[in-house]
């Protein structure tokens, strides 16, 4: 009986570890440990300090769970706490700050808990140490700087450090070059400035150099480097900046060259395939002709059938699946077929149900094309998929007599 009770308690204990709620954690993850990097035992009056608690999970991940814990103070006249943020008052003394998990074991004790014993003293600020002595940033960049206050305890002559970043008054010697708020420095324009943190009459500064952002290279990207006659391909040209960012450029900032205009034409940043072959397109920055980039494009097909679904071009062979809830509509999608460079014939046009049995035309059918119909070169035809029955699955399909073995397959399924 005792062994059974022990095993039951152990099982409940392990399951309760999963109850601690984390915004990003999954129910299957097990918390193995809670930890923090808070090592202060002495704190000044009228100060704020943050305790951040992290959970280690059995899958090796680590997450901030501070806001999920229950926090309490043994003496609110000395210090209050909310979501790990400890705020001291005017009085001095010893206070205990505690957290515990909402999850409990079999004896109703918290799975995890910890108590921090803090001595609230009337300390004297003697110095401020900034986490950076000097900074070099590019225009538009930001950097967070931490201010650590060095305090002297008159009672013990002991010196202690506290993060006073949020307590400091921050300033920049030139607001046109940089701004600063709660230690976060933002570089605005090129030049030099001094960033200063001040608290209780004590100041500390760092020197800041803001460098201009310049273009160091170009890059051309596209959704593909292969396309077919009559198709368009949008080319995206980005400038690589000195701070490793990318800026998308308008075609007006570029000069293009084309190795063979009979294969591909270029209008702005849009390439259009004219005939089968390969070309090299080169973009050069107008303001700096030393910066350029190239892309090689290949036109693959001169004879093929284009397919569009609701105005968006797809590719053959096409196979689509869509799910519906409730009931099928009477009409589904609209398609367009365009023959390029040759004639194409529709074969084996049919609609089948979930069992693969073909349906009668009156139940589900193609509206706009017929079996054996020819799509003539450089012409197009539009068709719709229509439903007038009560099937739970419809499969519209056909084949095309071309060299590329094109086929069409569109399924509609009721959940």
**The domain boundary residue, chosen from 73, 103, 121:** 121
The dihedral over CA atoms of 243, 244, 246, 247, expressed in degrees to the nearest 10, equals 20
| H or E stretch covering 8 | helix 2-16
pLDDT in tens, 248-299: 999 999 999 999 999 999 999 999 999 999 999 999 999 999 999 999 999 9
Same-domain status, 141 and 249: no
Pairing of strands 232-234, 270-273: antiparallel
Same-domain status, 344 and 379: yes
Q: For residues 76 and 398, give the distance between their C-alpha atoms in angstroms, rounded to a whole number.
A: 77
How many CA atoms lie within 13 Å of 338's alpha carbon, on the beta-carbon side? 17
pLDDT of residue 222: 95
Please provide the DSSP assignment of 200-221 as one string: TTEEEEEEEEEEPP-EEEEEEE
**Burial of 415 by CB count in 10 Å (0-12 exposed, 13-18 middle, 19+ buried)?**
exposed
CATH classification of the domain holding 236: 2.60.40.1080
As averages over each run of 10 residues, the pLDDT of the chain (415 residues) reads: 44 43 53 90 90 93 94 96 95 95 89 94 94 95 96 84 92 97 96 97 97 94 93 95 91 94 95 95 95 96 91 91 86 92 91 86 88 92 89 90 84 88
Can you give the residue range of the structural domain that contains 144? 124-211
Q: Which two tokens stand for residue 346?
A: 């529709």
Q: For residues 191 and 62, give the distance between their C-alpha atoms in angstroms, rounded to a whole number.
A: 40
Same-domain status, 206 and 238: no
Same-domain status, 116 and 6: yes
Report the number of distinct structural domains present in the chain.
4
Q: For residues 81 and 96, give the distance between their C-alpha atoms in angstroms, rounded to a whole number.
A: 10
CATH classification of the domain holding 356: 2.60.40
**The domain boundary residue, chosen from 121, 143, 166:** 121
**The domain boundary residue, chosen from 89, 121, 153:** 121
Q: For residues 197 and 88, give the distance between their C-alpha atoms in angstroms, rounded to a whole number.
A: 22
CATH classification of the domain holding 144: 2.60.40.10
pLDDT of residue 321: 92
Same-domain status, 235 and 288: yes
Same-domain status, 112 and 128: no
Same-domain status, 253 and 326: no
Same-domain status, 283 and 347: no
Same-domain status, 74 and 134: no
Residues paired with 366 in a beta bridge: 385
Same-domain status, 186 and 252: no
Same-domain status, 139 and 88: no
* Cβ 192 vs Cβ 207: under 8 Å: yes
Q: What is the pTM of this model?
A: 0.58
Same-domain status, 267 and 370: no
């Amino acid at each position: 009986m005792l062994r059974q009770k022990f095993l039951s308690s152990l099982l409940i204990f392990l399951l309760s570890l999963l109850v601690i709620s984390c915004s990003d954690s999954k129910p299957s993850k097990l918390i193995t440990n809670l930890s923090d990097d808070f090592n202060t035992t002495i704190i000044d009056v009228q100060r704020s300090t943050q305790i951040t608690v992290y959970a280690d999970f059995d899958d090796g991940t680590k997450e901030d769970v501070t806001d999920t814990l229950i926090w309490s103070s043994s003496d609110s006249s000395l210090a209050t706490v909310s979501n790990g943020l400890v705020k001291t008052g005017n009085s001095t003394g010893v206070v205990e700050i505690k957290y515990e998990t909402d999850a409990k074991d079999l004896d109703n004790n918290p799975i995890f808990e910890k108590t921090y014993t803090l001595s609230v003293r009337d300390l004297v600020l003697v110095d401020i140490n900034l986490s950076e002595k000097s900074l070099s940033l590019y225009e538009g960049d930001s950097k967070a700087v931490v201010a650590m206050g060095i305090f002297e305890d008159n009672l013990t002559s002991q010196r202690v450090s506290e993060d006073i970043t949020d307590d400091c008054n921050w300033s920049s010697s030139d607001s046109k070059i940089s701004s600063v708020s709660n230690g976060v420095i933002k570089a605005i324009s090129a030049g030099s400035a001094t960033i200063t943190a001040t608290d209780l009459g004590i100041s500390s500064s760092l020197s800041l150099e803001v460098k201009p952002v310049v273009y160091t290279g170009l890059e051309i990207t596209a959704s593909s480097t292969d396309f077919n006659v009559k198709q368009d391909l949008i080319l995206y040209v980005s400038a690589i900046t000195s701070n490793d960012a990318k800026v998308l450029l308008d075609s007006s900032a570029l000069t293009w060259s084309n190795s063979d205009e009979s294969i591909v034409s270029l209008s702005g940043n849009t390439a259009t395939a004219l005939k089968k072959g390969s070309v090299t397109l080169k973009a050069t920055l107008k303001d700096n002709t030393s910066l350029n980039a190239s892309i090689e494009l290949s036109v693959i097909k001169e004879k093929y059938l284009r397919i569009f679904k609701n105005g968006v071009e797809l590719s053959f062979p096409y196979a689509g699946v869509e799910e519906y809830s409730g009931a099928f509509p009477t009409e589904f999608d609209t398609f367009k077929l365009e023959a390029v460079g040759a004639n194409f014939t529709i074969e084996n046009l049919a609609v089948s149900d979930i069992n693969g049995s073909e349906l009668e035309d009156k139940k589900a059918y193609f509206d706009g094309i017929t079996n054996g119909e020819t799509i003539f070169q450089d012409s197009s035809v539009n068709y719709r998929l229509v439903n007038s029955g009560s099937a739970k699955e419809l499969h519209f399909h056909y084949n095309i007599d071309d060299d590329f073995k094109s086929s069409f397959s569109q399924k509609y399924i009721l959940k």
